[in-house]
Amino acid sequence: MIRKLLGLVAGLSALTACDEGPASNLSFTTTPEVWSFVTAAATGGPLPVEIHGNPFGDPPRAVAREVATAAGEAFTEPWLRFAATPKADPNLLRLVWLLDVGRGFNADDVCRGRLPEVDAGRRVIDIRAVLCRGERPLSAVHGWMRNPGSASDPSWRHLIAQMARQLLTGRG
């Protein structure tokens, strides 16, 4: 009886931990050819990466560099590079990352430069990433994890890489 009870407690603990990530899912894709857009855009140079929000005490530029580097580690294609930029040209294909996003997330608004509020200080960081082509989203990904210590945390970097792969390939 005690063994069964301990097994039940362990199972419930595992289920509760899943709610705190790290985990991500593909929210949507507007075309099955997301990767074709990425391939075409990346031949012209690095893909711009915009970061909004900062759940860490790290300097914003350091967080942006970590996100761009972690995204690049998800791919083996030598021509696919990422560059952290404070505000990318809105006409380009670009990745927009929202760290600690609050209410009001809308991918169309994000691509148009209208960003939701940041909701810092929560136990679990909510992350959204949108691949924008001009003012239109091509794909979006949602991720979350219990607050990592810094932007260089291996679990955080792994989550960012996983989300980048989902975002740029349009596959969950």
pLDDT by residue (tens digit) across 48-64? 999 999 888 889 999 99
Identify the pLDDT of residue 8.
36
Cβ distance 20 to 124 under 8 Å? yes
Is 13's pLDDT higher than 80? no
pLDDT, one tens digit per residue, over 96-116 is 999 988 888 999 999 999 998
pTM score, two decimals?
A: 0.86
Please, what is the average pLDDT of the chain? Answer: 86
Q: Could you give the CA distance from residue 8 to residue 1 in angstroms, rounded to a whole number?
A: 11
Mean pLDDT of 124-137: 94
Cβ distance 46 to 83 under 8 Å? yes
Identify the pLDDT of residue 126.
92
Adjacent-strand bridge partners of 125: 145
